[in-house]
Structure formats: structure tokens, C-alpha cells
Chain A
């Protein structure tokens, strides 16, 4: 299913890192343990994994939301 993106509530996030383990294809952690998320819409095949990561977040900070109209079609920054 397209048209959805993964986002995180930055205030709620405590850097548990569960998301990066469950959804490594879209989420990596920075050097402090906080998620860097691919801003492009979730591909159909990834949707199930994304949902699982959202449900597993211990802080309920990770979200799968409808992409805003200005969501980038490709990554805006080089992923590291």
C-alpha cells in the first residue's frame, strides 16, 4: 500500500532502537541511538513490517501516517 510514511514523535521517542531492528530497510539509528527514517512512502511489501515496528515501539512514538502532499518521492538526504 502506498501513500503512507513512517514518522516518529521526537518528544516521545527515548531511543530504545526497537524500530531499527524491526524495520532496518527504512530506519537506521544515529550515534546517539535515535532513529533516522527514510521519508519516502512505504512500499506495499514493507507495509506489514512497518506496522509491526509501530506496534512494538515501547514509547508508542513511531507512527505510520498518510503522506503529506509535499512528501519527498526520493530520500532527501544521503542515508548513512
Chain B
């Protein structure tokens, strides 16, 4: 039907045409989901950081009291420091292992698929299964390898149960579960490097490490940068392995910010400090995201 100028039908038809030509209908589904499950809960969490609420009664506004509470809690700072340690560990060891294994996969053509599967396998095993295997079958002094070694006179302690080693023991399990993912990602990135560049370097007599240092790593720098930024964000969100293996213990030795927030919320029923800790976690995520966006912009300009 041809729209009549000035009529209701015409206005409606005009709206439909404008809507059809605009990007809004394409944005709406994702926008609705993001608003419902990210923006609203996010805003509620920000608001909750300024309220006192036990999860059941009416929330009451307390200003900055929740932040005072968490800053007065020494466990908050030890948890924050643990997150920083966790970030340093995951920015170095698995990335180095991933780069090493990825480049080896590039060089060694035989058995490449097999090793990719082997490296990637721990990534697809459920977190709880991995954690329970390490806890019960490796670290446990009665039923695990640690217990078995005791039969041969090798007395090792369960590293999860000693404050100086607990965080590293948990990080080792997560690291075992995680590094294969990086190896496969880096290998995929290495394969995009121009073969002529690699060939030229080899003809020029470059050793394996020189090839890695001067050709491969510079070529995949954007991928490495992305993975490092994501590692920082993920490190501040670390929760699952800590929760299953130690629940932050012993004596808060492996407590991280997310387990602390969980404890405030679901054990103490103090939603305010829990939200305040969650905001601190988000703050570090935001810093990482800011740097990521800046790097992206710089590379886009280049």
C-alpha cells in the first residue's frame, strides 16, 4: 500500500521504513540481553556496595561503610596480594609454556595433531573433576601420590595444607588445566605468519631461538597482548579452583578477592562488603580493559 502523506498510516509506514533502514533492530536482541544480565545486575552491584543488606531484609544506605569494613579487614589485603601473585604467575609461566609448545608444534610437523590434542585435553575437563583428581589422587597424604611416596620413605606434605605453599599448589592445578589452551592459540597464530619470512630467516642461518625472538613472537604480538590482558582480567576473577581445593585456606593463605566476596555474601550474609569487593575486582578488570582498548586504537592507527 502506498503511504498517504499526513495520514496515520503514512506516519506509521515512515517509522517502519526508518526502523528497517536503521541498525536498531539488529542491535536490539544483544542489547536487551546485555541490559538484562549485565547492565542491571552491574548497576545493582554498584548500588549494593553502598548499602547494608543481609539478603532478606530491607537494604539500608550506609555510604562508604562497606569500603571501610573491607579496608579494615586484613584478609582483604592478603587476598588482593594473592590476586597480584596469581596474575604474575599466569602472566609468565603459562604464556612462556604456551609460546614454547606452540613454536615447537610449528617446527615439528610429525605428531602435531596428537600433541595438540594432548595439550588441549586438560582444558576441556570440568574444573571440579580436575581439582578433585589433584586433591585426592595427587596431593592427598593418605590416598594420593604423596601418600604412595610415603611408602617408599619419601615424606612429602600436602602442599594445599601449608600456608606458604597453598596458593602455589592451587595455581599449579589451574596452570596445568590452562596452559594447553594458550599453546593451541599461539600455534594457530604462528601458522598465520608469512611462510616466506620464516624461510628467509632459516636461509639466513637463524637458530630456533633467534627465529622465535626476531620473527615469530614479533609477528604474533597482538595475540600475545590480547592473551596477557585477558590473563590479568581472568586472574582477578579466579575463583573455581581456589574454592574447590582450599576454600581460601588454610588460615586465609589462598584467599583471593572473589572467594572473599563469596564468603561475605553467602556465609556471612553481608551483601554490602561483598559488592564492595566485587567493585575492586571490576576496577582491576577496567584498568586492563583500558590498556587493551588503547593498544587496539594505536595498532588501528598504525
Say whether A associates with B.
Answer: no
B: which residues have CB within 8 A of A?
A: none
